[in-house]
Copies of this chain bind each other. A is one copy, B any other.
């Protein structure tokens, strides 16, 4: 097993956009929309979580190379009364692509949303019958030639 050698590759501009969704109860989405979540500003905290996590991708995903990201942009939006969408765009001038960084950002942003609305998602038995992360994917990758 090895972190593959990219020493021979050229540093070029690279960009990746990833997205993902979290299914929530209507109450949680309503509270997010109205600013009624006790733990604070859900999207604000999730955006910071996503940016910080994207920068630490190589510490978390074992075989990812250490990159210096030029830009990270995390967006969160309410899709409908039962779903929130996260989109993370990452750019860098590096030897390897930045899609893993974008995907890590999406996952951590959505997990942060989950963590902040936990109290409204659990049923009386403490279980999460509905909450779910879905559709985490790379929307597009760009690599300058």
Give A residues with C-beta under 8 Å from B. Answer: 1-7, 13, 20, 38-41, 44-45, 47-49, 51-53, 55-56, 58-74, 91-93, 95, 97, 99-100, 103-104, 107-108, 111-112, 114-116, 118, 126-128, 131-138, 140-141, 143
Contact = CB atoms under 8 A, between A and B. Distances in A.
Given A63-B39, A68-B65, A2 B137 contact: no
B100 A114 contact: yes
A70 B112 contact: no
A49 B39 contact: no
A132 B20 CA distance: 9
Contact of A45 (B1, B39, B103, B127): B1
Nearest to A67: B68
A91 to B, nearest CB: 5
